[in-house]
Structure 1
């Protein structure tokens, strides 16, 4: 049973939300931007990053025109998966990086929503929204590691239903004044209490990371965008077309809800090395990557989140090559503050 207060299909992005700095920087119709999935270091032979120089790398990425830095949500290290993400809890880490950057969007790929209390999550992300002046993008997922669920006392097989319940509760409590809701899992309120702060741009963009055990139809109707796995070049058109058809059915033909993809990037030393799929991502040379992203932009993809951790060379070298061969062709929106300063 999900919360009593129903969430209607999410309308096309409201004018207020379209002014949110993170949204403006990352998602624009007809454009494509590039983000990085943390950690900001390469470690192909170890599940654990050192997290050395991560502040300097974040600042360097921002200065090079990276649109967003994305943090993964991995509560426990499972040796069977061999990947500990960026080690730090993502929302805490976002707060830390927000203090040493000024423009780059800060997002999650994604918060494992079924394992989170949606009431506290609303308080946390609304606070981050205010403290970062709207630089937050909230990617949400259902999680893909069955070993973590028993630790939280949650049934892995119910994560899809639990995701919908948590999302509905999160949206109701986080956005509505003096919310009325009731959930078997997450409590209830008769409207006598309010949660502060509220999002300063109406709501914080909620992006599905993977399917989250939902249909694309449900995601298109209720969430603000979708970040899927890396498609092959010959599958880009179908990847975008299927999403756009669901958005049009739920919201109308004029609606814009962005589609993105992300995964591991093995940046090949030969710049013209062609696209090749690997587990969780792809191998490609830097010039071929530029052409692939141009093809993705033409197909209607709005953002690409890359994780170069599998590339066997220093992260600074990877950033330099991306800056030289790729990033100048996919420039993010400049904030009002920067425009006024310049």
Structure 2
């Protein structure tokens, strides 16, 4: 593991066990601003229950046709608020839309949150997928691939160098300016999300890991083979929706980006993910009682999986 990986990255990936995170809004209020006090309470509860990360989405505007507004609040002040409410849990973005934000703003904001959280920030980064946002920000969607590459390069440069020189589509740095504060380590860890309009080899070379959406098992296996060939032991994280049935023995039913099933099936499924080589699982928990779902998944799925190896033996 490289020395520059911060506390949040180490929390997720330092051991060989599968780590678990969950995502805002924890109250499932996905079209309007959530109750902040309730979100803070649930964030603290998730940390108490042993979740390793709390993830926030970057959704610049609300497009009703897409179906949600993330946690509504801008990702930087939101994660700063959660940093003050929690102690050790990693704080992640899933994911910052680099094509719609100037990289120098991202560099300063991310380093600030990283500092204010004592190094707990892990930065998922993406190219964006909400079509009306691109004309709203005067960005040609066909430019997303090269804008993403330039943004990643510029973030790495301004975090690593004082008074750097750089000439990109975003502007020119001629050595007179420096971006402060610096992150707690050499770089805030970057996890490209999805393909980000890049090759797997590029993501393996330029990312600290790969964050992907839920994949069918056969597809996941081939993706992981490609990832290991390109990136070696760099981590692979996957996000999925989890709807826990009341009957713990219930068979699985597909839902968008995940499953509805009983906890017995989820335990075996998650063990299979760990055995396949998934390093972190970001679960979006559905249900009318968010705290109950956090507790059920932790006690009936997460804890048993972490307590045993993939062969069922005690760790």
Report the CA distance between 1:299 and its aligned residue: 1.1
Distance 1:157 1:16 in 2: 33
Pairing 1:9-28 to 2, within 5 Å after superposition: 13-17=1-5, 20-28=6-14
Distance 2:266 2:258 in 1: 13
Residue among 281, 303, 314 paired with 2:258: 281
Pairing 1:175-214 to 2, within 5 Å after superposition: 175-183=160-168, 185-214=169-198
Structure 2 gaps of 5+ residues are: 308-315
Distance 1:276 1:225 in 2: 30
Q: Deviations over 1:35-57 (max 9, x none)?
A: 001110235xx744633511100
CA 1:125–1:269 in 2, change beyond 3 Å: closer, same or farther? same
CA 1:148–1:16 in 2, change beyond 3 Å: closer, same or farther? closer
Is the Cα–Cα contact under 8 Å of residues 159 and 186 in structure 2 kept in the other structure?
A: no
Is the Cα–Cα contact under 8 Å of residues 208 and 225 in structure 1 kept in the other structure?
A: yes
Q: Deviations over 1:51-103 (max 9, x none)?
A: 35111000000000000000001111111112111111111100000001001
Pairing 1:64-143 to 2, within 5 Å after superposition: 64-143=49-128
Distance 2:247 2:145 in 1: 42
Report the CA distance between 1:177 and its aligned residue: 2.1
**Aligned Cα root-mean-square deviation (Å):** 1.9
Distance 1:331 1:51 in 2: 32
Pairing 1:1-16 to 2, within 5 Å after superposition: 13-16=1-4
Is the Cα–Cα contact under 8 Å of residues 162 and 179 in structure 2 kept in the other structure?
A: yes
Distance 1:270 1:28 in 2: 35
Residue among 227, 247, 257 paired with 2:231: 247
What corresponds to 1:321 in structure 2? 296
Distance 2:220 2:149 in 1: 28
What corresponds to 2:20 in structure 1? 34
Q: Deviations over 1:1-35 (max 9, x none)?
A: xxxxxxxxxxxx42242xx2111111135321110
Distance 2:107 2:89 in 1: 22
Give yes or no for the alignment of 1:290 onto 2:267: yes
Distance 1:194 1:79 in 2: 39
Is the Cα–Cα contact under 8 Å of residues 267 and 305 in structure 2 kept in the other structure?
A: no
Count of aligned positions = 306
Give yes or no for the alignment of 1:156 onto 2:141: yes
TM superposition score normalised by structure 1? 0.84
Residue among 241, 249, 254 paired with 1:272: 249
Is the Cα–Cα contact under 8 Å of residues 119 and 174 in structure 1 kept in the other structure?
A: no
Determine which structure has greater relative contact order: mean sequence separation of CA pairs < 8 Å that are 6+ residues apart, divided by chain length.
1
Report the CA distance between 1:276 and its aligned residue: 3.6
SS at match of 1:212: coil
Is the Cα–Cα contact under 8 Å of residues 34 and 71 in structure 2 kept in the other structure?
A: no
Distance 1:36 1:111 in 2: 17
Q: Deviations over 1:309-333 (max 9, x none)?
A: xx3421111012112202224559x
Is the Cα–Cα contact under 8 Å of residues 111 and 183 in structure 2 kept in the other structure?
A: yes
Q: Deviations over 1:285-311 (max 9, x none)?
A: 222212111111111110010112xx3
